[in-house]
Amino acid sequence: MKKVILIFVLTALVASGAFAQLYFSFGGGLFFSGSFGNGIKMDSENSGENLIIESKMDNISFGGFAFMDATFIEASVSFSFGIITPHYLINNEDMTSTEGKDNGYIKMNFTQLGLSILGKFPFDLGNFSLYPMVGVEYNMVVSAFNKDGSKVIVDDGHTITENFSQFGILAGLGIDLPLASAIYLRVQALFNLRFPAESINDRIKDNEYFDKAESTVGVGPRIKVGVGFRL
């Protein structure tokens, strides 16, 4: 994990130095993020059982972020609270809750630290700047709690971070609207795609019973609104 953070920091510093001659700014704001359908899918159709099992997780997060910007690149750090809703399906039938019982698939809450670096290409349209952007993100789960407030206990040999943290891709559009000579409003609408956590890949490798096991990605929106200050 320390190596991941170091790579993000060094990349941001190098990028900032490379583009500092154009313009540099910093700021912060609030964001909403959704990731739906992340998990694992297993089936045993080839053995004649016709059994398909899916374990998925929806993550709706709210939080704040800080960013630094150097014309063609934006580096950002965020902290958020995630509301996690699991789904357990057998042959496409949702079995998450049966007769009022959770069946072990209990809603959880995450606290999360996010690190992202996005490249962007701004177009100066007079009164505002519009830019497409694409980049990578690492969403690290710092802590996890059940809906009753008890701490999530991991007993499969992985840590909380390994069980739930994910790399992802962000892509979309942003707009900067001037509020004053050196202050602007930043609004971004992004598509959020998250790859499986480390523990999911390990479970697929360890699969012995099912004919086929594969991971499913998480997709959803990311909406960010903030204020920036040009130096």
Nearby residues of 86 by Cβ (< 8 Å), 6 or more positions away = 55, 56, 57, 58, 96, 105, 106, 107, 108
What is the rounded average pLDDT of the residues 12-17? 48
Identify the CA nearest to 130 among candidates 167, 174, 180.
174
- Domains for the chain: give ranges and CATH numbers: 2-230 (2.40.160)
pLDDT of residue 100: 42
pLDDT of residue 45: 66
The strand pair at 166-178 and 129-146 is best described as antiparallel
Q: Which of 28-32, 204-208, 218-222 has the lowest mean pLDDT?
A: 204-208
Q: What is the pLDDT of residues 129-166, one digit of tens each?
A: 999 999 999 999 999 888 777 888 776 667 788 788 99
Residue 82: pLDDT band (50, 70, 90) is: very high
Q: What is the pLDDT of residues 26-67, one digit of tens each?
A: 999 999 999 998 888 878 766 566 778 888 889 999 999 999
pLDDT of residue 116: 96
Q: Point out which residues pair with 108 in neighbouring strands.
A: 84, 146
pLDDT of residue 46: 60
Query: What length does the chain have?
Result: 231
Long-range contacts of 175-180 (CB under 8 A, 24+ apart): 175/128, 175/129, 175/130, 175/131, 176/122, 176/128, 176/129, 176/131, 176/228, 177/127, 177/128, 178/127, 178/128, 179/227
Q: What is the mean pLDDT of the chain?
A: 83
Answer whether residue 20 shows pLDDT above 70: no
pLDDT of residue 231: 86
Task: In whole angstroms, give the CA distance from residue 105 to residue 99.
Answer: 14
pLDDT of residue 7: 52
Task: Identify whether the C-beta of residue 140 lies closer than 8 Å to the C-beta of residue 147.
Answer: no
Q: Determine how many CB atoms are found less than 10 A away from the CB of residue 88.
A: 19
